[in-house]
Structure 1
Amino acid sequence: MTTTVHVQTILETAVKAVDNKKANNIVALDMRNVSLMADYFVIADAASNRQVQAIVTEVKDKVQEAGGTIKLIEGYQSADWVLIDLGDVIVHVFSTEQRNFYNLERLWNDAPYVDLTTLLVAD
C-alpha cells in the first residue's frame, strides 16, 4: 500500500519516467477489478538490455524523487524482464523479444487500459 504518495502520482511518475528513456509500446492496465496484486501495471519494452536498465534506473530515481517507495526490483541484471514493485503500481520493463513472448496484455486482457495520452510525449 502506497501511503506517503497518492497512487495516481506514482502511476504518472512511473509512466513519464519510462517515456523519458524512450521505451516502446508503453501501456498501463487498470488492475483494480481483476487482481489483488496491484492497482496498476505499467508495461513497456526496449530494444536492448542496456536500455531496459536505463529505463528501470529512471523509474527508480523519479519515483523516489516524488516520495514513492521502491519495494523490489527483480531481474535487473539479466534485463530481459525487470519488475519494479512500487506498491500499488507494478512496472514491467521487457526486452522486445521477451515482451512478445510473455504478452502480459493478453494474459490480463480483462483489465482496461489507462488513457496515457496526457502523460506521453508525442514523437
Structure 2
Amino acid sequence: MESKELVTLAAQACDEKRASDIVVLDMSDVSLIADYFLICEGSNERQVQAIARELKDQAEEQGIEVKRMEGFDQARWVLVDLNDVVCHIFHKDERHYYNLERLWGDASTVAVEGLQS
C-alpha cells in the first residue's frame, strides 16, 4: 500500500471515531522520518484510546504492520507508527501545548478531502 493510500486509511479510521481537527502534513520534503504525519485530537482519554485502537485495527485488517504504538495507557498523546505514516492522536489539551503543526511549519498541509481523489 502506498503512503498516500495509507494516510487516507488512517484519516478515515480517525474520522470514524469522531476525531477532531484532522490535519495531514506532507513530510516528504522536510524529514526522513515519514512521508506523512497525521495529527488529530480526541476530547477525552477514552476517545483518544478509541481512535488509536480503530486506527490499529483497520491497519492490521489491511495487512499493514503497526511498527509501534506509544502512549496508549496515558492517552494524552498516542503515537501510532505505520512506517511511512506517523499518526499523532492527542488529547485536546496536549495538542495545543505541543503544537506540532507549528513545529513542522515547513511541511505543507494536505487537505484530507483531497487524499481520497
TM-score, reference length from structure 1: 0.90
What is the percent sequence identity of the aligned residues? 47
Q: For structure 2, list consecutive stretches of 5 or more residues without a partner in the other structure.
A: none
Give runs of aligned pairs for residues 1-12 of structure 1, distance below 5 A.
Answer: 5-12=1-8
Quick one: distance in 2 between partners of 1:100 and 1:84?
19
Displacement of 1:118 after TM fit? 4.9
Displacement of 1:57 after TM fit? 0.3
Q: Which residue of 1 aligns with 2:96?
A: 100
What secondary structure sits across from 1:27 in the alignment? strand
Q: Which residue of 2 aligns with 1:61?
A: 57
Match of 1:90 among 76, 80, 86: 86
Q: Is the 8 A contact 1:84 1:90 kept in 2?
A: yes
Q: Is the 8 A contact 2:80 2:88 kept in 1?
A: yes
4+ residue runs over 4 A deviation: none
Quick one: distance in 2 between partners of 1:78 and 1:28?
24
Q: How many residues align?
A: 116
Q: Is the 8 A contact 1:32 1:40 kept in 2?
A: yes
Displacement of 1:106 after TM fit? 0.4
Displacement of 1:103 after TM fit? 0.3
Q: For structure 1, list consecutive stretches of 5 or more residues without a partner in the other structure.
A: none
CA RMSD, Structure 1 to Structure 2 (Å)? 1.2
1:36 aligned to 2:16? no
1:111 maps to a residue whose letter is A
Displacement of 1:119 after TM fit? 6.0
1:87 maps to a residue whose letter is N
Displacement of 1:79 after TM fit? 0.4
Displacement of 1:13 after TM fit? 0.6
TM-score, reference length from structure 2: 0.95
